[in-house]
Structure 1
Amino acid sequence: MNGMPITVKRSIELLGLCLVVCIIVLGQNIIMPVLMAFFISIMLLPIYRFLKKKRFPEIIAIVLPILFVFAFIGVIIWFFYAQISFLVSDFPEIKRNVNLHLTSLSKWISNISHYSTKEQIDLITQKSDDLLALGNKTAGSALLGITNSFVFLGLLPIYIYLMLFYKDILLRFIFMWFKPEQHFKVKEAIYETESMVKNYLVGLLIQIIYITVLLGGSLYLFDIKHALLIGVIFALLNLIPYVGALIGNIIGVLLTLTSSQDGWQIVTVLVAISVVQFFDNNILMPRIVGSKVKINALMAILGVFIGGSVAGISGMFLSIPIIATLKIIFDRSEIFKQWGALLGDERPNLSPMSFPIFRKKNKIAASEDINKEVN
């Protein structure tokens, strides 16, 4: 490998990257539950170790944390069911508000364009028929997606249990890939990955709670209907970096539009979401997660979109911890160190175009050469 030309090395790397993406696309129904179980099992390790120290049997020490996770998921599902039932009971009022907003929108369009109300109704009817036809075609796909979700949730506890039970075998497998003199780097990478994943996922759980309380509580004080539902939806969608917050804003506005005729309530929802998001992004989340996930924003956004196109919502959610784990591995590898630099958020103080030494991999040697160049 060391004797290969640099172009051959880079070609093999890119070919391997394409191969990994193809494997994920073809086997996403198998790979995504395994990856999700891997990250959740890392998050549950402290509870497992605590129970083991208290001399709980190993099976109970594994099962209890898994039951805790699924109890939390069950509470969220129950809450959504209760809130959606409340939303359905308001359907007559929602229908009346939607008709009122559509009438106002139709008048506004008539005033600024040549489209009459009749032409608008004809256009809406035509598009509605097209959407209905499309809905009939995709109904089977939606049913298949729901089935896959149930399979996903069914396999998740089994994978988590087996990963915790056989974790020593998995660790031994990892160490056997490397020479004994490299084991200290492997151990370092494992500890850093565990710390990063725990901080990130526990931080997300705390984030769901405080966003729901802050946003839902503030909207409730302003007498906004479905305040808690808006808060929980925004909190859950905010788990998807960058994209989720935008979708949460849109859903919050739509829920307010359907339940109210007052424009000030829409402004209140947008202002409340903006304030909560400002506190989350700049004050709360950096303190909770800290600097464990050292990924630059460009790679994070690309990772979210690529993860979504490759593996759907689960791919978008897992994209950040996967990229962060890869960066930890790449930073400790001489072959892939440039990929770690690409994913990271450490900007050089001086441009590599002006100071060629910044193009080198060895930071210690680079700092010495920079002093020489500057002096």
Structure 2
Amino acid sequence: MNDRTPITRLPTAGPSAAGHSSAGLPPAPGTPEPVAKPVPPAEHPRDPTRFAVVGLFVIALLFTLYFGRDVLLPIMLALILSFLLRPLVRALYRLGIPEGLGAAVMVLLVFGGWGLAVYTLSTPAAEWVNRMPRVLHELEFKLGDIRAGIERAREASRQIEQITSSTGDAAGAPVREVVVRGPTLIEQAVTQVESLLANVVILLVLLYFFLARGRNSLEALIGTMRSVDDRVHYAMVAATLQQNIAVYLLTITVINAMLGLATGVVMWMWGLPNPALWGVLVALANYIPFIGPAVMTGVLFLVSVLTFDGLGTIILPPLSFVAITTIEGNFLTPMIIGRRLALNPIAVFVSILFWGWLWGIPGALLAVPILAILKILFDAHEPMKPIGALLGE
């Protein structure tokens, strides 16, 4: 054989004939490419510490919300009011008024409106507070059967207390009772007034800064994001939140004001005393769905009991209010608001109970706006959309 005769290598059986050989030669023509079998991922056991960390975070959050309510409550109230008043500041800015000056004007209007309302309603409210002992006596007289049942319950409780107090310890010696004296009623009132004034000052200061510098702070925060898509996304989320919450709060405020006006007029027609006071209380209570109208129905019934004698006359004012609030809640509000932030009634009720438990009456007033804010934020993030769907349409 000549040294220059080419040598043909035949394919051999085995893995090198179907794929790349160990010498790096390509597979023979016509040989099918090998199919790689998928390797199943290794199953990792669930980490129990993850659930423990989540549980501890939830507990810490609840403790923070509860014990920090004196600080968090005015912050949240100022934030929600800034959503409501921000369009007015923007309108003044279009007219050539700087945002700082426009924010100061809005804060003064809010403070002046609250001061005027308190000054106007303080006299009738003080009259009802002074009449409270006589009111309780009249209620006991008019509700005789209920009063008799209460007296029997008190007598039974008094007898049980005497029996337990007459028993001694094991040696037969009488049990000594230690009385711890707390703060007097005047001291409690002074403390509450000081806390209220401090919260009002904090609220007004925060409201001014939110209106004057809130937009610049938000733009600076969004500007720190490296991704352009993230900047655009969160800018749109902020704009949607501002617009929807402002429209929602403005609409609800107008509806509540009209409901309070209608209630005051109807109570005046029935001859109920201080109709303006009940109208304002109805407008404020209607910010708490379900619970607020129910409480005001009871209040109007008690006032009607104290004012009138006949059962037919007593029942007319509360029935009139029930008719008005039924029309408002089932027809007018859904028709005006439409599908914008249509919240789930179950979620609304649970939110009222939760925030009322945490922050009291102010928390119950803020429960629905907080729920609306959470729904918008959940809808803006894909992983949280199922929760947003549970909160409403």
Please classify the TM superposition score into its range, dividing by the shorter chain length: 0.7 to 0.9
What is the RMSD of the two structures over their aligned residues, measured on CA atoms? 3.4
Q: Could you tell me which residue of structure 2 aligns to residue 217 of structure 1?
A: 265
Q: CA deviation at 1:231?
A: 2.4
CA, structure 1 residues 267+178, in 2 after alignment: closer, same or farther (shift >3 Å)? farther
Deviation per residue, 1:99-153 (Å, 9 max, x gap): 431435446x5xxxxx9x7x467469899xxxxx999779466654443222111
Q: 1:226 aligns with which of 274, 278, 291?
A: 274
Q: Could you tell me which residue of structure 1 aligns to residue 291 of structure 2?
A: 243
CA, structure 1 residues 45+178, in 2 after alignment: closer, same or farther (shift >3 Å)? farther
One-letter amino acid of the counterpart of residue 203, structure 2: L
- Which sections of structure 1, spanning at least 5 residues, go unmatched? 110-114, 128-132, 346-375
| 2:204 aligned with 1:157 | yes
Provide TM-score, normalisation by structure 1: 0.76
Q: CA deviation at 1:214?
A: 1.0
Deviation per residue, 1:220-242 (Å, 9 max, x gap): 11222333322222221111122
Structure 2 CA distance, aligned partners of 1:288 and 1:308?
27
Q: Does the 8 Å CA contact 1:97/1:259 hold for their aligned counterparts?
A: no
Q: 1:40 aligns with which of 81, 84, 90?
A: 81
1:163-312 matches, cutoff 5 A = 163-167=210-214, 168-174=216-222, 176=224, 179-312=227-360
One-letter amino acid of the counterpart of residue 65, structure 1: M
Q: Could you tell me which residue of structure 2 aligns to residue 74 of structure 1?
A: 115
- Which sections of structure 2, spanning at least 5 residues, go unmatched? 1-41, 161-178
Q: Which has the higher contact order (CA 8 A, sep 6+)?
A: 1
CA, structure 1 residues 171+29, in 2 after alignment: closer, same or farther (shift >3 Å)? farther
Q: Could you tell me which residue of structure 2 aligns to residue 147 of structure 1?
A: 194
Structure 1 CA distance, aligned partners of 2:348 and 2:45?
27
Q: 1:55 aligns with which of 59, 77, 96?
A: 96
Structure 2 CA distance, aligned partners of 1:78 and 1:221?
24
One-letter amino acid of the counterpart of residue 382, structure 2: E
Q: Does the 8 Å CA contact 1:234/1:249 hold for their aligned counterparts?
A: no
Deviation per residue, 1:44-77 (Å, 9 max, x gap): 1121112112212433211111111222222321
Provide TM-score, normalisation by structure 2: 0.73
CA, structure 1 residues 124+66, in 2 after alignment: closer, same or farther (shift >3 Å)? farther
Q: Could you tell me which residue of structure 2 aligns to residue 325 of structure 1?
A: 373
Q: Could you tell me which residue of structure 2 aligns to residue 338 of structure 1?
A: 386
Q: Does the 8 Å CA contact 1:106/1:120 hold for their aligned counterparts?
A: no
- Greater shift in the superposed pair: 287-296 or 10-19: 10-19
Q: CA deviation at 1:303?
A: 0.8
Q: 1:22 aligns with which of 53, 58, 63?
A: 63
Structure 1 CA distance, aligned partners of 2:289 and 2:358?
16
Structure 1 CA distance, aligned partners of 2:356 and 2:43?
35
Structure 2 CA distance, aligned partners of 1:255 and 1:33?
33
Q: Does the 8 Å CA contact 1:304/1:319 hold for their aligned counterparts?
A: yes
Structure 2 CA distance, aligned partners of 1:226 and 1:295?
34
CA, structure 1 residues 218+336, in 2 after alignment: closer, same or farther (shift >3 Å)? same
CA, structure 1 residues 292+177, in 2 after alignment: closer, same or farther (shift >3 Å)? farther
Q: Does the 8 Å CA contact 1:224/1:265 hold for their aligned counterparts?
A: no
Matched residue SS, 2:233: helix
One-letter amino acid of the counterpart of residue 269, structure 2: L
Question: Would you tell me which structure has more helix in proportion to its own residues?
Answer: 1
Q: Does the 8 Å CA contact 2:270/2:317 hold for their aligned counterparts?
A: no
Matched residue SS, 2:314: helix
Structure 1 CA distance, aligned partners of 2:57 and 2:154?
53
Identity %: 20
CA, structure 1 residues 318+121, in 2 after alignment: closer, same or farther (shift >3 Å)? closer
**What number of residue pairs does the alignment pair up?**
330
Larger CA Rg, structure 1 vs 2: 2
